[in-house]
Structure 1
Amino acid sequence: MTTTAAPAPISRVLTWCLHLLVGCLLSLTAVRAVLAGSPNAAAVVALAAALGAVYAAGPLVPRVRTSRRAAAVWSAAVGGVWVALLALTADAVWIAFPLYLLQLHLLSRRAGLAAVAATAAVAITGFAAHAGAFTPAAAIGPALGAAVAVAVVWGYQALYQESERRRVLIGELTATRADLAEAQHTAGVLAERERLAREIHDTLAQGLSSIQLLLSAAERALPDRPGKAAAHVHQARQSAVDNLAEARRFVAALAPPALEAASLADALERLCATTSTRHRLTVRFHLTGDPAPLPMAHEVALLRIAQSALANTVRHALAVTADVTLSYFDDHVAVDVVDDGTGFRPDTGTDGFGLAAMRARTNALGGTLTIETSPGHGTALAATLPLTAALDSR
């Protein structure tokens, strides 16, 4: 038995093992009494059945699982029937061991230890009474069984408590990490909003205010000074052109023109072709897997990373060829950029090649950036983004 409403799987297994042990020992006691032809055989069988019934009633009573007092009452009832059975047959002394386990599990540590000591004393006394004399050997069995039961139960309880403490600590750590990740994400969103707010305030908002003032001035000058009004309108028109350019810059920063009317694979293929045309570098494009729809943020990140990696190759690697591979897998999408250039030492701690920006892009979308390079052996860069998360964010 256990006093918790939701026992652990191992606790349930031990409970059923205890039930099975009690049932087997009661059956063995009854069978031996019948086979031995004891004059008390009928009474032994009846008391064994009564003890089994009282024992079986405990797991069916909800309060026994939730109340230590109810558990103590049930344990005392089981012990009382057992004492009566022990008075009829010495074989009942075997049942003392599962009673030890039951008492230690149901009662508090002090009460359980006292109950075990009392049960052991009754077992020794009953066995000695049936034997007709008290011997040290008669006391060894019940006493040793009590010691083993105490060691087993207390050891299990210590392990269980340690396991529970670790489970709680792991849960707290997981919750803390989730809260930290959420806080970091929120901080990133707020930082981006602040950046866009500053950009809009310093450009579009100021420009629209200027247009409003110029048009108001033109409206006031129109009846008497049409030339002055025309000048104000011209200035407002020029301001509108400038602000339209700013608006297009914002849009371009969020959605590159290369992705406006083409897929990511097409954009990367054009990037490879353009780089090969403008520079002394042969860039080949490869596509593997079945293309899957991605959010714009993921497509922008992969395209920007490929652009930055090829730009580094052109400026620093002295490479002859480079390969750009877009790969779609079951759970992630990846862009690999491999060149045959001079390579570099990745452990120098410097970041003059835009690697921090690439890593920031992948980390912001839950991905990873890996770089394999060494002096004289080229560079292999891989940006990987989770495909499931990408589809869920659409």
Structure 2
Amino acid sequence: MHAGFFLLLAASASRLAVRHGLGGATPALLALSGVLGAGYALGAVRWDALGRRGRLGWLAAVLVCWLALVAAAPSFAWCAVPLFFAALRLLSPRAAVAAVVVITGAVIFAAVYLAEPFDPSLVLAPIAVAGMAAVILLELQRLVDELVRTRGELAETQRAAGVLAERERLAREIHDTLAQGLTSLGILLQAADRQWDTAPEEARRHLRRAADAAAANLDEARHFVRALAPPALASGSLPAALAELAGAEAGGPRVRFRTVGDEYPVDVQVQAALLRVAQGAVANAREHAAATAVTITLTYLDDAVSLDVADDGSGFDPAAVASAPGRGYGLRAMRDRMAEIGGALAVESAPGTGTVVAATAPRRAAPSNSEDRG
């Protein structure tokens, strides 16, 4: 648009010089056209630095200079189109309509002045073109404003969704680490209290286990605050972490661990999710099911890893727990973890028959929603 303005200004000045020569008022009009070109160029170059008020002042000065040129040399009306778009871009709809009327009037004046004889189309055509262009550009501006507003609303929605997702992550981590660790501490301390007088050595053993559990829980808290993998995976593989989970004594059922298939590399996100599922299932068997034995089975399939945690506890009705308000958060957290990596979780249980928690995950974690948006 800027290049078009300077070409039209040069064409108008050339027409003035060719038609009227360099005598009379021509030099003054050419100088005024130079002032117009310099002023227009200054605004185009300093657009961002001018600010809104500066741009409005620039537009007013350019329009006044151009109207003076058109009054003296109607051929300068050719420069109307870039000025027309500049006015629609800068002004409010009501002010833009007023500017369009003034510019269109100048164009009509020039067309009638230069034409012989008078033709009604010289009046009607500029009005029709200006009206259509103004309506189209104002509508485009409205759509652009609406798009910008919608983009802002979408950004706010995404920010809120990110905050909610982070809260869900922290809730899962707190449930699977701090809450379960504190429960283990409570069990060990209660056992130590019961045996303090009758079996002091056994009570001290429970206290040492409680101290170890507290240290491990603190380590877990530091890691999930930093969004790192569980500390049990920091120096080993998933089978080693599950074996450590099975060997940890915190009261409750006896836990066995076994693997099926040949171990192969698995994404850290997948290992962390499966470890958290195992920790949650074992904690549920200890705290809610009154189980005496728990078996953790890790199976390496061709294209997926399967984890089964089976206990011989009291069992429950999964449908009833899912529909009960305030219950079943641990199972929901497990399902959310598996969904984040592209896996799945199934729970098989019934009152009096024990429970099996089965998780299946791909070798490589699927991209999360947040990664897709990024």
- TM normalised by structure 1 equals 0.58
* Higher RCO (CA < 8 A, seq sep 6+): 2
Q: Counterpart amino acid of 2:336?
A: N
Q: Counterpart amino acid of 1:26?
A: L
1:21 paired to 2:31: no
Structure 2 Cα separation of the partners of residues 261 and 123 of structure 1: 80
Q: CA deviation at 1:110?
A: 1.1
8 Å contact kept, 2:112–2:118:
yes
Partner secondary structure for residue 382 of structure 1 = strand
Give the one of 292, 298, 305 matched to 1:335: 305
Give the one of 332, 342, 351 matched to 1:368: 342
1:1-394 aligned within 5 A: 18-36=1-19, 38-39=21-22, 42-61=27-46, 65-68=50-53, 70-131=54-115, 134-192=118-176, 193-201=178-186, 203-209=187-193, 214=196, 232=197, 235-241=199-205, 263-264=237-238, 284-285=261-262, 287=264, 297-298=272-273, 300-301=275-276, 324-325=300-301, 335=305, 360-361=333-334, 363-364=336-337, 366-370=340-344, 381-383=360-362, 386=365
Change (3 A) 1:240 1:190: same
Structure 2 Cα separation of the partners of residues 367 and 295 of structure 1: 6
Q: CA deviation at 1:248?
A: 8.2
Q: CA deviation at 1:323?
A: 7.3
Partner secondary structure for residue 199 of structure 2 = helix
Q: CA deviation at 1:57?
A: 2.2
Partner secondary structure for residue 285 of structure 1 = coil
Partner secondary structure for residue 368 of structure 1 = coil
Structure 2 Cα separation of the partners of residues 94 and 81 of structure 1: 14
**Residue in 2 aligned with 1:346?**
none
Structure 2 Cα separation of the partners of residues 92 and 383 of structure 1: 71
Structure 1 Cα separation of the partners of residues 300 and 110 of structure 2: 87
Change (3 A) 1:369 1:386: closer
Change (3 A) 1:383 1:361: farther
Q: CA deviation at 1:164?
A: 0.9
Structure 1 Cα separation of the partners of residues 165 and 49 of structure 2: 44
Structure 2 Cα separation of the partners of residues 266 and 37 of structure 1: 96
Q: CA deviation at 1:39?
A: 4.9
Q: CA deviation at 1:208?
A: 4.2
**Residue in 1 aligned with 2:253?**
none
Count of aligned pairs between the two proteins: 298
Deviation string, structure 1 residues 339-372 (Cα, Å, up to 9, x no partner): xxxxxxxxxx999xxxx9898447337422159x
Structure 2 Cα separation of the partners of residues 123 and 388 of structure 1: 60
8 Å contact kept, 1:120–1:146:
yes
Q: Counterpart amino acid of 1:58?
A: G
Q: Counterpart amino acid of 1:115?
A: A
Structure 2 Cα separation of the partners of residues 71 and 181 of structure 1: 44
**Residue in 2 aligned with 1:375?**
none
Q: CA deviation at 1:49?
A: 1.9
8 Å contact kept, 2:84–2:100:
yes
Change (3 A) 1:195 1:301: closer
Q: CA deviation at 1:52?
A: 0.8
Q: CA RMSD, aligned part only?
A: 4.9
Change (3 A) 1:263 1:303: farther
Q: Counterpart amino acid of 1:363?
A: D
Change (3 A) 1:384 1:300: same
Structure 2 Cα separation of the partners of residues 165 and 261 of structure 1: 49
Partner secondary structure for residue 120 of structure 1 = helix
Higher mean C-alpha displacement, 45-54 vs 27-36: 27-36
8 Å contact kept, 2:270–2:361:
no
**Residue in 2 aligned with 1:6?**
none
When Rg is computed on C-alpha atoms for both structures, the one with the higher figure is 1
Change (3 A) 1:134 1:358: same
Structure 1 Cα separation of the partners of residues 235 and 108 of structure 2: 92
